[in-house]
Amino acid sequence: MRKIMLLLFPFLFLALSSCTSKKEKEPEFLTQGGKAIVTKEIPYLAGSVKMNGFLALPEGDGPFPAVLIVHEWWGQTDYPRERAKMLAKEGYVAFALDMYGNGKTAEHPKEAKAFSSKVSADMNQAEKSFRAALEVLKKQPQVNPQQIAALGYCFGGGVVLEMARRGVDLKMIGSYHGDLTPVVKNKVSPMKTRVLIFNGADDPFVSKEAVETARKNLKAANVRYKFVNYKGAKHGFTNPNATALGEKFSLPLVYNKEADEDSWKQTLEAFKVIFK
């Protein structure tokens, strides 16, 4: 019996050591790239409305530059959350905010249109919702509150353009296949916020006249902006699920890998310039 115990002792020691080391480690979520990021749900209030945000944190203590992400008209699906994880992997704190309340999402375009139209009909309330999320992000201990940008997709692209036009303090906004109405039909004033707009040249939801007017108005206001028009790209070109959704609902939604990767590359390059 003594011999058996002596033989087993090294293995018991290794097992106990392994268990102890695991307990000492904090929970981590690994991206495919290998860098450890932490993600968590953050409930918050926009006035009396309950919102559900999704936070992604990079490795380290910070403080880090941070990015707000505004979802497509489908709501806070997995897509904006994946973008948040991608940003955390690059060393930014990312917060996918909620513009609809309770983190609700749409299963059908009619539902998505109803949700997004309700927000667009009251942009003063939309600004309050956006600012509420911005304050949540600023209060995170890992965040440098002076270094915040915002990215928006589809419906969210129009939202970030409107927030910049309204003077919300952001270093930069990026709009991807977004609504250009905020800078086409409203007065654009000089702003410190830099503007990136990535548009699909073949997007039937954005007319050539709207593109020309947006560029004209931004230039007239001396806004530091860059407008990229991707030839052949249609609506939703950054979302890998766009093609399937387009086919399912007979909508001109098509994923474009080249436009997606280029717009992301240009965004990360811009971050290196503004976050100094």
Share of the chain above pLDDT 90, in %: 86
Strands (E), the chain: 29-30, 36-46, 49-57, 64-70, 93-96, 143-153, 172-176, 194-200, 225-230
pLDDT grade for 51, boundaries at 50, 70 and 90: very high
Q: What is the average pLDDT value for the chain, to the nearest integer?
A: 90
What pLDDT, in 10s, does the model give residues 96-115?
Answer: 999 999 999 999 999 999 99
Across residues 28-33, what is the average pLDDT?
42
pLDDT score of 191 more than 70: yes
Q: Please state the φ and ψ torsions of residue 248, each to the nearest 5 degrees.
A: -65, -40
Does the N-terminal peptide bond of residue 27 adopt cis geometry, omega within 30 degrees of 0?
no
Question: Per-residue confidence at 70, pLDDT binned at 50, 70, 90?
Answer: very high
Q: What is the mean pLDDT of residues 77-85?
A: 98
Is residue 9 scored above 60 in pLDDT?
A: no
In this prediction, residue 189 carries a pLDDT of 95
* pLDDT surpassing 80 at residue 93: yes
Of the candidates 81, 52, 118, the residue with the CA atom closest to the CA atom of residue 239:
81
The answer, yes or no, to whether residue 243 has pLDDT greater than 60, is yes
pLDDT at 30: 43
Instruction: Quote the pTM value.
Output: 0.87
pLDDT band at 276 (very low <50, low <70, confident <90, very high): confident
Instruction: Supply the pLDDT for residue 36.
Output: 85
Mean of the pLDDT values across residues 255-268?
98
pLDDT over threshold 50, residue 54: yes
Does residue 2 register a pLDDT over 70? no
Q: Which amino acid is at 229?
A: N
